[in-house]
C-alpha cells in the first residue's frame, strides 16, 4: 500500500520540500520526493517506498573493506560514533544496522559482549561468521538477542533508512535492560550543508534515506516508545562535505575525487559541524 501519511505522527499535512531527487551516489534509476510534516516536523519521502531492498544492490557499506580503507573510515567517523568508556567494560552492546561489522570490530575488548543486527539475513550471517558473534536479522527473533539482555544499543546512520520507525523503537525497548542506553547518529537535514547542496547533499542520499527523524519528531517518537533524551549534540562528519562537493561538480559520485577533496572536507566539517545529529537516549519505563 502506498502511504502519504507521516511515518511518526501519522499526520497527513505534508508539504513538498524537495521533488525529483535522484541517486547521485550509486546512480540507481529511481527518483523520489521529500515532504515535511506540518504536525511533528519530520522530513520524509512521499510516498514511503513499499520496499527498499532494491536500493542496496552493490551497497558499499555492506562489503568488507581493505584495512587501509577501514582505518581511514574510522578516523572520519569516530567523532559521531559511540565510544565505550571504562565503565562499559562489563556491558553487552548491540550495533543495530551493523553493515559490514566494522564498528563491532572496533569495540572488541572494550565491552564484555557484542551483538549485531542487520536486516538482510545473508549480510547478518556473513558478519556473524566473520566476527564470531551473534547477529540477528529479524525484529521478531528473540532467540539470537533475548529480551532485556542488552545494556547499550548503537545505531549510526540507520534510522534514516527505515520504513518502520515505531517497530524499531519497540524492538530497542524490548531488548534493552531497564535504564539501558541508545546511541543514534542521524543526518541533520536542517543544516547549512543540506540547504547549500539541496538534492545533491550527500546526507540526503536518495532513495536510500527515507526520513530524517530529529528534534521534535524524534523526541516525540522516543517519549511514546519509553525513552528519554539524555543528550543531543552535533558531530563532525567530513564525508557529507566531500561527497556533496563531488556530486555538485560532476552530478555523480567519483571515489578518487572524493578522496582528493577530503582534506578540504575535514576543514569545512570542523568549521561547520552540524551535518549530523547525535543522540543519547535512556530506556525509561
Ligand atoms: Zn508527523
Strands (E), the chain: 14-22, 31-37, 43-46, 92-96, 113-117, 135-136, 150-156, 176-187, 227-235, 276-283
**Beta strands across the sheet bearing 176-187:** 135-136, 113-117, 92-96, 150-156, 176-187, 276-283, 227-235
Most confident of 56-60, 67-71, 163-167: 163-167
C-alpha cell at 170: 519497540
Could you tell me the distance, in angstroms and rounded to a whole number, from the CA of residue 10 to the centre of ligand 1? 6
Task: Select the more confidently predicted residue: 77 or 126.
Answer: 126
The CATH architecture to which 51-283 belongs is: 3-Layer(aba) Sandwich (3.40)
Domain ranges of the chain: 51-283
Summarize pLDDT for 198-257 with one digit per residue, the tens. 999 999 999 999 999 999 999 999 999 999 999 999 888 888 999 999 999 999 999 999
CA of 240 to the centre of ligand 1 (A): 26
CA of 78 to the centre of ligand 1 (A): 31
pLDDT in tens, 128-150: 999 999 999 999 999 999 999 99
Residue with cell 530506556: 283
pLDDT at 76: 61
pTM above 0.75, yes or no: yes
Residue in the structure block whose three cell numbers are 544492490: 57
pLDDT in tens, 85-123: 999 999 999 999 999 999 999 999 999 999 999 999 999
Exposed, middle or buried: residue 85 (CB in 10 Å: 0-12, 13-18, 19+)? exposed
238 CB neighbour count, 10 Å cutoff? 23
Output DSSP code: residue 13: -
pLDDT attached to residue 65: 54
C-alpha 7 – ligand 1 centre gap (Å):
7
Amino acid at each position: 500500500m502506498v502511504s502519504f501519511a507521516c511515518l511518526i505522527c501519522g499526520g497527513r499535512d505534508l508539504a513538498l520540500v524537495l521533488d525529483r531527487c535522484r541517486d547521485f551516489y550509486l546512480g540507481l534509476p529511481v527518483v523520489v520526493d521529500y515532504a515535511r510534516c506540518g504536525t511533528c516536523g519530520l522530513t520524509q519521502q512521499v510516498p514511503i517506498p513499499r520496499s527498499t531492498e532494491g536500493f542496496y544492490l552493490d551497497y558499499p557499506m555492506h562489503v568488507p573493506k581493505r584495512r587501509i580503507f577501514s582505518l581511514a573510515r574510522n578516523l572520519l567517523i569516530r567523532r559521531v560514533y559511540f565510544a565505550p568508556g571504562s565503565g562499559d567494560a562489563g556491558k553487552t552492546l548491540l550495533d543495530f544496522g551493523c553493515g559490514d561489522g566494522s564498528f563491532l570490530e572496533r569495540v572488541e575488548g572494550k565491552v564484555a559482549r557484542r551483538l549485531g543486527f542487520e536486516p538482510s539475513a545473508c549480510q547478518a550471517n556473513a558478519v556473524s561468521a566473520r566476527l564470531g558473534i551473534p547477529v540477528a536479522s529479524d525484529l521478531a527473533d528473540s532467540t539470537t538477542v533475548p529480551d532485556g539482555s542488552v545494556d547499550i544499543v548503537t545505531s549510526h546512520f540507520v534510522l534514516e533508512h527505515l520504513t518502520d520507525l515505531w517497530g524499531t523503537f519497540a524492538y530497542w525497548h524490548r531488548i534493552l535492560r531497564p535504564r539501558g542506553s541508545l546511541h543514534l547518529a542521524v543526518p541533520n537535514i536542517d543544516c547549512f550543508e543540506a540547504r547549500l547542496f539541496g538534492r545533491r547533499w550527500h546526507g540526503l542520499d536518495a532513495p536510500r534515506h527515507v526520513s530524517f527523524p530529529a528534534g521534535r519528531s524524534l523526541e516525540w517518537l522516543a517519549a511514546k516508545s519509553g525513552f528519554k533524551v539524555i543528550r543531543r549534540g552535533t558531530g563532525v562528519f567530513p564525508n557529507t562535505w566531500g561527497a556533496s562537493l563531488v556530486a555538485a561538480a560532476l552530478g555523480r559520485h567519483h571515489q578518487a575525487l572524493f578522496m582528493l577533496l577530503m582534506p578540504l572536507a575535514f576543514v569545512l566539517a570542523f568549521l561547520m559541524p552540524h551535518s549530523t545529529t547525535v543522540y543519547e537516549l535512556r530506556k525509561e519505563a
